[in-house]
Amino acid sequence: MSDILFKSDNMSFSYRVGAVIIHNNNVLMVKNENYPYYYSVGGGVQFGETSEDAVLREVWEETGVNLEIDRLIFIHENIFIAGFMNDVPFYELRLFYLMKTNEDIENIVCNSSGLDGGRETLHWLPVDKLSEYQAFPKFYISELQELTSGVKHFITKNEVTVLAH
């Protein structure tokens, strides 16, 4: 199947999911060896797939662990110029799900590589020290400190945007 990604000569749209996996006050992040930043586990939603099915699939593909969804916690609309796509304006809609952890989470291994073929590794970053890392999305720094019961909506425009998987 193909990811939901629409491209034209002058713009692109992508529908994606992210998994927020927190264990012992650390959040699981991905790092590509070719870049200095960390980003959430997740990826593109495929045609015919729900966002919930997509996040479960992405977690399995990237960690080798089956987790359950706790709940939707963030909606992120990210509008930026994609330098990695010849400076095309890009609109990304990403739903972030908080995942339930289990005992298998201690034995995770990254099973993926980035779009550029760079080796990806998984890292547990302390939630209370995320500001010390170049982590995306940036709202993780404040929002993961104290999760609320509702869904929060974020819109970012023209921020430096990373090449994610």
Domain residue spans of the chain:
5-157
Structure tokens at 156: 């970012």
Residue 136 has pLDDT above 70, yes or no: yes
Looking up tokens 């989470």 gives: 105
**Phi/psi at 49 (5° precision):** -110, 140
- Of 2, 30, 1, the C-alpha closest to 18 is 30
Q: Classify domain 5-157 at the CATH topology level.
A: Nucleoside Triphosphate Pyrophosphohydrolase (3.90.79)
Average pLDDT score over residue span 72-86: 81
Read out DSSP for 15-63?
EEEEEE-EETTEEEEEEETTSS-EEEEEEEPBTT--HHHHHHHHHHHHH
Alpha carbons 19 and 42: distance in angstroms, whole number: 6
Can you give the pTM of this predicted structure? 0.89
Average pLDDT along the chain: 87
Over the stretch 18-66, which tens digit does the pLDDT of each residue have? 999 999 999 999 998 888 889 999 999 999 999 999 999 999 999 888 9
Residue 163 has pLDDT above 60, yes or no: no
Using CA atoms in the order 77, 122, 31, 10, what is the torsion angle rounded to 10 degrees? -40
